[in-house]
């Protein structure tokens, strides 16, 4: 696979996992609403997917990459971000929100472990260190978003 696509896919996948887990944790603890969570996921897939891919585009242009590299990394980001984010919609469409939350967390952390493994394998780095580092960041985002939602719910309910 070309470096440009690897760059876009890895960025989009990571962003899709971390951002969506944070969004779900915050919205579910703040609203307890399936509608808010599913609306947030779809809005995130579209708006943040386009925003992140545009950011990748500008970043690669700034690095003076050639046009094909820029567009391949842009499209890789958009494709990965959109698909990963939308994949989180499936549980809440099929089961209730409370049951779906556990599935969200397991699915997101599993995707992050797989991505971390492949990046470490490709780069020749210690796999467990990257996996633990990325999991700790994800848990931090989930926790902070969850408690922000709890605070907002308590403050404005």
- 109-137 per-position pLDDT tens digit: 999 999 999 999 888 888 899 899 999 99
Tokens found for residue 55? 């950011």
With CA atoms as reference, report the closest residue to 24 among 139, 112, 134, 142: 142
With CA atoms as reference, report the closest residue to 30 among 143, 146, 120: 146
Output the pTM of the full model.
0.93
With CA atoms as reference, report the closest residue to 150 among 31, 56, 41: 31
Which pLDDT value is given to residue 127?
85
pLDDT digits (tens, 9 = 90+) for 75-86: 999 999 999 999
- Per-domain residue ranges for the chain? 3-147
Mean of all residue pLDDT scores within the chain: 94
Percent of the chain at pLDDT > 70 equals 100
pLDDT digits (tens, 9 = 90+) for 145-155: 999 999 999 99
Which pLDDT value is given to residue 79?
97
């Amino acid at each position: 696979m070309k470096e440009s696509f690897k760059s876009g896919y890895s960025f989009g996948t990571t962003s899709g996992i971390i951002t969506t887990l944070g969004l779900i944790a915050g919205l579910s603890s703040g609203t307890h609403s399936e509608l808010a969570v599913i609306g947030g996921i779809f809005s995130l897939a579209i708006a943040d997917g386009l925003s992140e891919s545009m950011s990748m585009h500008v970043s690669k242009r700034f690095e003076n990459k050639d046009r094909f590299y820029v567009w391949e990394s842009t499209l890789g980001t958009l494709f990965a971000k959109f698909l990963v984010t939308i994949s989180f919609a499936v549980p809440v469409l099929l089961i209730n929100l409370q049951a779906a939350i556990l599935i969200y967390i397991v699915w997101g952390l599993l995707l992050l472990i797989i991505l971390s493994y492949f990046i470490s394998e490709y780069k020749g780095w210690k796999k467990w260190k990257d996996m633990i580092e990325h999991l700790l960041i994800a848990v931090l985002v989930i926790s902070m978003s969850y408690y922000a939602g709890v605070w907002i719910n308590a403050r404005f309910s």
